[in-house]
Amino acid sequence: MTDVSIIGAGVTKFGNRQDVSYRELMAESVAEVLRTIDTEILPNNFDGLFVAAGQPELLNDQANVANLAAQVVGATPSLISRVEMACSSGSVAFRQGWMAIKSGLADMVLVMGIEKMTQNMKAASKGLCIVPDVEYESIHGITAYSGFALIANQHMKEHGTTKEQMSMVAVKNHHNGAKNPKAHFYEMGEITLEKAMNSRMVSEPLNLFDCSPISDGASAVILTKSEIARKFTDQPIKILGTAQGIEPSMGISNMSSITEWKALKQAANSAYRMAELSPSDIQVAETHDCFSIAEIIEYEDLGFTAKGMGGKFIEDGESHLDGSLPINTSGGLKAKGHPIGATGLAQITEIVSQLRGQSGKRQVNDVEIGLTQNLSGFATHHVVNIFGK
Ligand code: COA
């Protein structure tokens, strides 16, 4: 079977994008991805188009968005669909594109991710409350932040993780986001530990700076067969490993453990196995820091540090831009923003840019191997991808 490579990856400016309509935001992501490719690609070159979009019906009164994307691109792909898997929609769509090429059904695939959340903040809040299990949990007051607050409290109890360590994740990610002009909070610049720790409480122990924001944005990636990738770019990026993991659990109350994510370990182990690599081979990573505690658990369950040592990992500066394993160089969901459908592909775009040496002030030196990890629900579903030059 053929190997698959990325030949282009781009993101729009994230943040409050009331300056553009939904279709204009889609078009902007297409323009961004095409700018990262050396050779002209025509709309009819795409025989696959997958569009990740979480909740356009609720947020933007627009359904059938894959068809809209085909119109925006001017493409007539024989494989086309919308993909929805909450916050991991982008990474799942990416895997659909990878599978389409791997199976021989497509030669060139455009994968797009989009969410325009600030158009209707009331709907956006509702949207975040209906991702958890509505029948058993949301009805009792569980939201994204109160669920992750339970996770944070339990991790603090089991492993001695501190509020200060969680705030350090935010300080690091805003430090990186201040170097990324596309980031939602680029203009905010760096933040101090005091500012992070003293911000208003959202759900004990998570305060404002422990949370990712509600954002608008889009991202796009173009995939093709590795054997023809160099026709389009001098710097194709190979997909070395890709895997999903899921727990048979929709809510937080019946997860096997809320502090040790079984589905993440499953996805990570499968991706490492496919890539024939181990955690110590990863040189840069984008992980799903929807809440600061998530990034700390991800250090552990991706195998970057031992169980319970995630707090120490950030405190020792290991995941800083100049640390042993820089994580969320883009600013992460915390500072770059989290437009649900766009997030997974934006993570991939950052790793592509790092591997190509195009990340400007946030570039990590001499990176050859990078990883992305994207979750949905209360960490019951994960996608892990590993990329190489
Ligand atoms: N971090 C830092 N600042 C934030 C922020 C965040 N996460 N969210 C909002 N702000 C800032 C805004 O920029 C704004 O600043 P300004 O007054 O200088 O313009 C101010 O706080 C008020 O913004 P507002 O949108 O009114 O805040 P809010 O209280 O309605 O929302 C949260 C704050 C944290 C509740 C909201 O961002 C949220 O729900 N985040 C979680 C999103 C989520 O769950 N995603 C899915 C994850 S799985």
Per residue in 240-271, pLDDT (tens digit) is 999 999 999 999 999 999 999 999 999 999 99
Contact 115, 340 (CB under 8 A): yes
Q: Is the CB of 144 within 6 Å of ligand 1?
A: yes
Q: Give residue 1's pLDDT.
A: 80
Contact 103, 6 (CB under 8 A): no
CA dihedral 345, 348, 352, 358 (to 10 degrees): 70
Domain residues for 338? Answer: 141-211+240-388
For ligand 1, atom 12, name the residue with the nearest CA. 213
- Together in a domain, 222 and 203: no
Q: Give residue 104's pLDDT.
A: 97
Distance 233 CA to ligand 1 centre (A): 39
- Together in a domain, 148 and 229: no
- Together in a domain, 118 and 84: yes
- The answer to whether residue 39 sits within a structural domain is yes
- Together in a domain, 185 and 221: no
Out of 211, 338, 381, mutate this one to test ligand 1's pocket (max ligand atoms within 8 Å of CB): namely 211
The CATH number assigned to the domain holding 92 equals 3.40.47.10
Q: Is 338 a catalytic residue?
A: yes
For ligand 1, atom 30, name the residue with the nearest CA. 121
- The answer to whether residue 134 sits within a structural domain is no
Query: What predicted TM-score, i.e. pTM, was given to this entire model?
Result: 0.98
Q: Which atom of ligand 1 is nearest to the CA of 375?
A: 48
- Together in a domain, 99 and 170: no
- Distance between CA atoms of residues 148 and 129, nearest Å: 13
- Distance between CA atoms of residues 84 and 127, nearest Å: 13
- Distance between CA atoms of residues 300 and 295, nearest Å: 9
- The answer to whether residue 133 sits within a structural domain is no
Q: Which atom of ligand 1 is nearest to the CA of 290?
A: 47
- Distance between CA atoms of residues 100 and 79, nearest Å: 8
- Together in a domain, 73 and 118: yes
Q: Is 87 a catalytic residue?
A: yes
- The answer to whether residue 135 sits within a structural domain is no
Q: Mean of the per-residue pLDDT values for the chain?
A: 97
- Together in a domain, 204 and 68: no
- Distance between CA atoms of residues 9 and 353, nearest Å: 8
Walk along the chain (389 residues) in steps of 10 and give the mean pLDDT of each run: 96 98 98 95 96 98 98 98 98 98 98 98 94 93 94 98 98 98 98 98 98 98 98 97 96 94 98 98 98 99 98 98 98 98 98 98 98 98 98
Contact 302, 264 (CB under 8 A): yes
Catalytic choice (174, 184, 338, 381): 338
- Together in a domain, 171 and 284: yes
Q: How many domains does the chain have?
A: 2
Q: Give residue 197's pLDDT.
A: 98
